[in-house]
């Protein structure tokens, strides 16, 4: 019978354990607060008496806890570390690239395989054919355990052998989401101040999603190629657009922090002589720290 251990039974870890049970795995679980295991035990999971027993129970140990420090609190005891030898640790806790690389080095030094993942979905969205999960680490280890990982979500992206890649690209995509979200909320403030229904504005933004996604994909290709000659949108248009949004915010007395920030960035790009290049040339400003 296929088996796995899941350590950490918060919102996400419990979901991962339940998905494995639903897929016919023999699942051993452990959580600092044992009571959280009860619904899973009722579903057939085995509650290990200790983290050591949990690690010992299965070849694959999935861990999903608050942060990497918690991982080391749980797995750091000498006997538990020793039990990792010959196992595969799948770290699905969110963290930084440095933490992921350190975790990989630590696991490998103790004779364990290691994969690092970043879950890009909420617990209720797990287990779907398109649930996005980024994975990185040793490729042979990933291929060997891909079927198990697919139980958590069909939208797996393997990002290569650098164990820090999943955490890095998780941060990169979150940057995009937060940037777009703040822009969206400034737009909601414009709509609200202008007496336009904000739910209708939201629906219009959702409608431009696929077109905007294509545009961003293209801009990523431009940066990767290093050829910033204008193909879609000259940066100068955005200098004017962001300045217009900032000016309008000030004129109508609404908060102008977001458009002023964007406008300042584009102005600096224009001052650096990038106005006649593709908008992706803004990265040349961002390369300066």
Measured CA to CA, the distance from residue 240 to residue 234 in angstroms comes to: 11
Interface characters, 200-229, with ligand NAP (x: CB under 6 A):
------------------------------
Residues facing 47 on adjacent strands? 29
* Candidate list 2, 73, 201, 205; residue touching ligand NAP; CB under 6 A: 73
Name the minimum Å distance from CB 143 to ligand NAP: 24
* Between 94 and 112, CB nearer to ligand NAP: 94
Buried b vs exposed e over 172-192: b needs ≥16 C-beta within 10 Å?
eeeeeeeeeeeeeebbbbbbe
Interface with ligand NAP, residue 183, by CB under 6 A = no
Interface with ligand NAP, residue 238, by CB under 6 A = no
What tokens were used for 267? 């102005």
Interface with ligand NAP, residue 134, by CB under 6 A = no
Total interface residues for ligand NAP by CB under 6 A: 21
Residues 88-127 that bind ligand NAP (CB under 6 A): 93-94, 119, 122-123
Ranked by CB distance to ligand NAP, the top (closest) residue is: 10
* Candidate list 33, 211, 224, 289; residue touching ligand NAP; CB under 6 A: 33
Q: Which of 104, 108, 82, 83 is nearest to 95 (CA)?
A: 104
Span from 5-13, 107-115, 243-251, 261-269 in contact with ligand NAP (CB under 6 A): 5-13
- Beta sheet of 113-119, edge-to-edge order: 46-47, 26-30, 3-7, 60-63, 88-91, 113-119, 132-137, 155-158
Measured CA to CA, the distance from residue 182 to residue 162 in angstroms comes to: 31
* Candidate list 4, 5, 6, 8; residue touching ligand NAP; CB under 6 A: 8
Measured CA to CA, the distance from residue 155 to residue 276 in angstroms comes to: 38
Measured CA to CA, the distance from residue 203 to residue 182 in angstroms comes to: 16
Catalog residues that contact ligand NAP under the rule CB under 6 A: 8-13, 31-33, 36, 64-66, 70, 73-74, 93-94, 119, 122-123
């Amino acid at each position: 019978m296929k088996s796995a251990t899941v350590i950490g039974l918060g919102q996400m870890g419990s979901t991962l354990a339940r998905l494995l049970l639903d897929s016919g795995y023999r699942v051993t679980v452990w959580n600092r607060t044992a009571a959280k295991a009860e619904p899973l035990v009722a579903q057939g999971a085995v509650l290990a008496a200790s983290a050591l027993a949990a690690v010992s129970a299965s070849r694959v140990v999935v861990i999903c806890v608050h942060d990497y420090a918690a991982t080391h609190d749980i797995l750091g005891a000498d006997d538990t570390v020793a039990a990792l030898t010959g196992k595969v640790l799948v770290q699905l806790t969110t963290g930084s690239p440095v933490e992921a690389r350190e975790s990989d080095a630590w696991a490998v030094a103790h004779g364990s395989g290691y994969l690092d993942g970043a879950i890009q979905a909420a617990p209720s969205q797990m287990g779907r054919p398109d649930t996005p999960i980024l994975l990185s680490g040793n490729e042979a280890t990933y291929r060997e355990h891909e079927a198990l990982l697919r139980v958590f979500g069909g939208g797996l992206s393997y990002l290569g052998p650098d164990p820090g890649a999943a955490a890095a690209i998780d941060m990169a995509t979150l940057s995009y989401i937060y940037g777009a979200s703040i822009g969206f909320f400034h737009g909601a403030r414009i709509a609200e101040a202008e007496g336009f229904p904000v739910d209708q504005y939201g629906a219009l933004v959702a409608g431009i999603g696929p077109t905007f996604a294509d545009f961003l994909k293209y801009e990523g290709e431009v940066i990767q190629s290093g050829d910033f000659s204008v193909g879609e949108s000259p940066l100068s248009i955005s200098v004017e657009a962001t300045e217009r949004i900032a000016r309008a915010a000030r004129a109508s007395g609404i908060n102008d922090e977001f458009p002023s920030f964007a406008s300042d960035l584009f102005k600096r790009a224009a001052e650096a002589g990038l106005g006649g290049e593709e908008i992706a040339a803004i990265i040349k400003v961002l390369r300066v720290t």
